[in-house]
A = this chain, B = another copy of it.
Amino acid sequence: MVKKIEVPVSGIPFKNNANYCVGTGRMGLALQKEYIDHLKIVQEAVHFKYIRGHGLFCDDMGIYREVEMDGKTSTFYNFTYLDRVMDSYLENGIRPFLELGFMPEKLKSGDQTVFYWKGNAAPPVSYEKWAELITKTLNHLIERYGREEVVNWPVEVWNEPNIGFWAGTMEEYFKLYEYSAKAVKLADPRIQVGGPAICGIDTEHWLRSFFEHCIKKNLPLDFITRHCYTAQPTTTRGHYVYHVMNEPTFMIDELRETRKIMSDYPQVANMPLHITEFNSSYNPLCPVHDTNFNAAFIARILSEAGEYADSYSYWTFSDVFEEADVPKSVFHGGFGLVTLNSIKKPTFYTFEFFANAGNELLYRDENIIVTKKDDTYVIIGWNWHDMRDHKESPDKCYSLLLPSVGKQALLVKKEVGGANANPMQTWSNMGKPRNLDKKQLRILQAAAEPLQTDAKLFENKGVYEVKLAISCNHLCMIEIMPVDDKTDSYLGFDPEEFYGMK
């Protein structure tokens, strides 16, 4: 069935925060060459504004130290690595969305850790030293990067304190929040601070308690953060993890609900809501992340999430990531938009396409948005379907009537899916090599590119007619831009003599 759409001449603002923020493996990994290579690739195409991840205060960043001399112990803050990481972020046009955590060895009150790389989840032995660590770190950043720059770097207090990332109670988290938020404001009152950075467990209770606590104690609070994943609990098999997957609207519903809870508190109701992590699966060993399905699935979320949230930070931009140990193969189910060896995964293009969307929204449904910027249409389409039922979903077919932007236009289409931009399939055809030789790399990098085609459009009765069929688990972007036809300036041009050129 073909859906016929008469696209209106003007629309509404497209609330599109697709490239506001992106997730990253722990900060210590940002020293790796491969990490920086991936960041360059992502930034060239998507231009994320912020980057957020764990590990600022973990010991591999080397910041919090104590040193003894002549029987006296003193604190020493070592910013060698922090500066190197921040330098390379800024060089790549991205700013940190700082997450305060985890606990430095010398400040930990317990031994509970998370991940292969052992982030310490314990409350500090001294809240004062913790607060000083925050203020000193921010002051150092201000000294190095300038106050006017650093006041643009938001700060989030800890990560998912509602589960094993925090070896304390909710009340202890509130205490941590209070010390942290005040320490941030001590560096500069303009620096935005927020929380509670929870994942989707016991959400309402945590949110309400957090809001009430902050309001009651009049704590600094500039924005609200939480995480959203759409997968149901995991089944682990060897080196893999599998899930039942919810629909993408599951996340949209969560956002709506969060806004609803917020709206009960006038002091909080209009605050920015940052989803500081989201993805389909919450596990870096789940194949879904490497699929075309995921590209289409995430597109559905990006098409609407901006109505409710001020950012939604895809977890993560790169498969340089070690939470579940060092990756064991090029494709291994990692979170990244880019996998090892700089191969772009399908979902990379979801973000590239949405970063390129127009700021005016002319039409939106479950499978398509039509946007405009200046005199160019940008249309994004998707058709997700969980193929584990062994049934292909039918094509989503459209006939679009677009108000013309000139007598003639160029349509350029980029397609992801099937034989194109599906490198995991090519890699599987290759026999699933764990590491690549140069020839395999060349094949895979070409296999990761979308299919680009183009066509001429002519205005007819004030509109262009564009037909579009989106196949199962495909994602596409269409750009339509006005053409100034110079053919007449080509003296002696005879179309008959161009061997079939149209």
Contact = CB atoms under 8 A, between A and B. Distances in A.
A329 B432 CA distance: 44
B502 A325 contact: no
Contacts of A498: 287, 291, 424
Contacts of A67: 238-239, 491
A449 B448 CA distance: 13
Contacts of A434: 79-80, 486, 489
B499 A287 contact: yes
Main secondary structure, interface of A, reads mixed
A430 interface: yes
A237 B288 CA distance: 54
Interface stretch (A29-37, A271-279, A357-365): A29-37
Contact of A497 (B69, B287, B491): B287
Contacts of A209: none
Interface string A224-248: 0000000000001111101000000
A125 interface: no
A452 B456 contact: no
Given A80-B327, A491-B239, A494-B242, A485 B432 contact: yes
Given A80-B434, A291-B500, A432-B485, A493 B32 contact: no
Given A62-B325, A429-B454, A449-B449, A69 B473 contact: no
Nearest to A425: B501
Interface in A406-441: 408, 410, 412, 419, 424-426, 428-435, 437
A388 interface: yes
Contact of A387 (B83, B293, B325, B500): B500
Contacts of A412: 443
A487 B432 contact: yes
A239 B494 contact: no
Contacts of A500: 291, 293, 387-388, 473
Contact of A32 (B32, B69, B326, B426): B32
B69 A237 contact: yes
B329 A386 contact: no
A65 interface: yes
A328 interface: yes
Contact of A454 (B443, B493, B497): B443
Given A78-B328, A326-B78, A473 B499 contact: yes
B293 A499 contact: yes
A81 interface: yes
Nearest to A491: B238
Contact of A410 (B62, B144, B429): B429
Interface centre among A74, A88, A429 (most CB of B within 10 A): A429
A496 interface: yes
B325 A499 contact: no
A76 interface: yes
A499 B446 contact: no
A460 to B, nearest CB: 17
Contacts of A238: 67, 69, 490-493
A483 B433 CA distance: 9
5 contacts: A78-B325, A293-B499, A412-B443, A431-B485, A434-B486
Interface of A: 31-34, 36, 61-62, 65, 67, 69, 74, 76, 78-81, 83-84, 88, 144, 236-240, 242, 287-288, 291-294, 325-329, 340, 386-388, 408, 410, 412, 419, 424-426, 428-435, 437, 443, 446-447, 449, 451-456, 473, 483-487, 489-494, 496-502
Given A83-B435, A238-B493, A388-B497, 13 more contacts: A31-B31, A31-B33, A33-B36, A69-B491, A76-B239, A80-B327, A239-B492, A239-B493, A240-B492, A291-B501, A294-B499, A412-B443, A429-B483
